[in-house]
Amino acid sequence: MRKMLKKLPTLASVTAAAALVMGATAAHAQDKTITLCWAAWDPANALVELSKDFTAKSGVKMKFEFVPWPNFADRMLNELNSKGKLCDLMIGDSQWIGGAAESGHYVKLNDFFAKEGIKMTDFAPATVTGYAEWPKNTPNYWALPAMADAVGWTYRKDWFAKPELRAEFKKKHNRELAAPKTWTEFKQVSEFFQGRMVDGKKVYGAYIFTERGSEGITMGVTNVLYPMGFKYQDPKKPYAMDGFVNSADSVKALEFYKSLYKGSTAPGMTNAYMGEGLDAFKSGQVAMQMNWFAFFPGLNKDPNVGGDKIGFFANPSDKGKGVQLGGQGISVVSYSPNKNEALQYIKWFASPDVQKKWQAVGGSSAHKAVLNDPGYAKSAPYAQAFLDSMGMVVDFWAEPTYAQLMLAMQKRVHDYVVADKGSAKEALDTLVVDWKKVFKDDGKLK
């Protein structure tokens, strides 16, 4: 779940705040209130409850500014770009890191982490790279991993268990009707359910992301592109995209996503993302649904489709493995007048005991003390699929210019998949041209 960040002129990184004294007196703390900004959803509500422990321990009071997902990026990025002082702490999307670091929006946390003994090796590597680092794959940290997430799948376990459907599917495909492990299997299952009558209602095979305006179709199509061989650039030559973005495998993957859209989805899903997927699954329209793991605890408890009726699986593999990374890190806003107290919160939140409670109350911890616990995989019906997913996540560009990069991909992919414009090869060839222009304008390419 990522939105757009405008690039501003680079400001000096704010590292002095990391050296602030953490031990504020209790009397002084009673006068302090800090504001944490995030999106409005169930994990944010869980964080409100968790943060009561921080106030009890530190004396620092907490306020929260939560904005619905459709408006979250515009609201919070405008706040950062205007150097506003509303937010002391920001749980911002992973792709904001490059722009926020280079524009001076976030406090660099290296010195603070070293002083307080906070080790990034204690967190899942993919989340450190995705949520905290800029430049990527360097030990420069601008956030602490806060909400681990990735794209996953739900399916109607009760439908898959119907004897008559199982018998028909096995006769047709010579295998059991089960959660798909490959994209070939996925297509077989989705087409099997497409237009079928189940429990007296016409249903459809699958729900996939198609939204064009922000990030939706990109966050969807990449789950087919990655395991089929797509790469953003030559691993040995940064920003060299020819033959990687538009490789033969990438073209086939994009064609495959379109075939799913045309042959396995409900009508009218031309501009649909997270909310529409939840609605489609909860209303019993689809056999399988693409969405973020962050929504799965709520779905598992849903009175109509949860419990014994729902199952979960990780993104199908093909030539290789891959799934779209989601999630966010928590950062200290450099314009905050309360950096000392905000850093106290980071220190508190980073502790293993708090991370375990964060997981228990409805968050999604990236801390190894949680993920590597022997009981984690069986702690929830979606836990093993989540662990599998976090071992194969890939993220979109986190460049300061990622907004332009995202908009280009949104247009090219949506035009081909939904609007039937041109071929898959033309879409990806043109995307390479678009991205080269962005990087040339940014000085990354000559």
Lowest mean pLDDT among 26-30, 85-89, 268-272, 408-412: 26-30
**Residues above pLDDT 70, as percent of the chain:** 93
Which residues partner with 424 through β-bridges? none
Q: What is the pTM of this model?
A: 0.92
What residues does each domain of the chain span?
Answer: 16-149+326-394, 151-324
- Cβ neighbors of 219 (< 8 A, separation 6 or more) are 1, 2, 151, 209, 273, 324, 326, 396
Report yes or no: 200 and 254 within 8 Å, Cβ to Cβ. no
220-232 as b/e: b if 16+ CB within 10 A:
bbbbbbbbbbbbb
Looking at residues 382-408, what average pLDDT do you find? Answer: 95
* φ, ψ at 65 (rounded to 5°): -120, 105
294-323 pLDDT per residue, tens: 999 999 999 999 999 999 999 999 889 999
Asked whether the predicted pLDDT for residue 387 surpasses 50, the reply is yes
**Over the stretch 196-206, which tens digit does the pLDDT of each residue have?**
999 999 999 99
Q: Do domains 16-149+326-394 and 151-324 have the same CATH topology?
A: yes
Report whether CATH 3.40.190.10 matches the domain 16-149+326-394.
Answer: yes
The answer to whether 142 touches 331, Cβ cutoff 8 Å, is yes
Question: In this structure, what token pair is assigned to residue 441?
Answer: 């304008």
Record: fold of 151-324 = D-Maltodextrin-Binding Protein; domain 2 (3.40.190)
pLDDT of 30 reads 60
Looking at residue 29, what is its pLDDT? 54
For CA atoms 193, 194, 196, 200, give the dihedral sign: positive
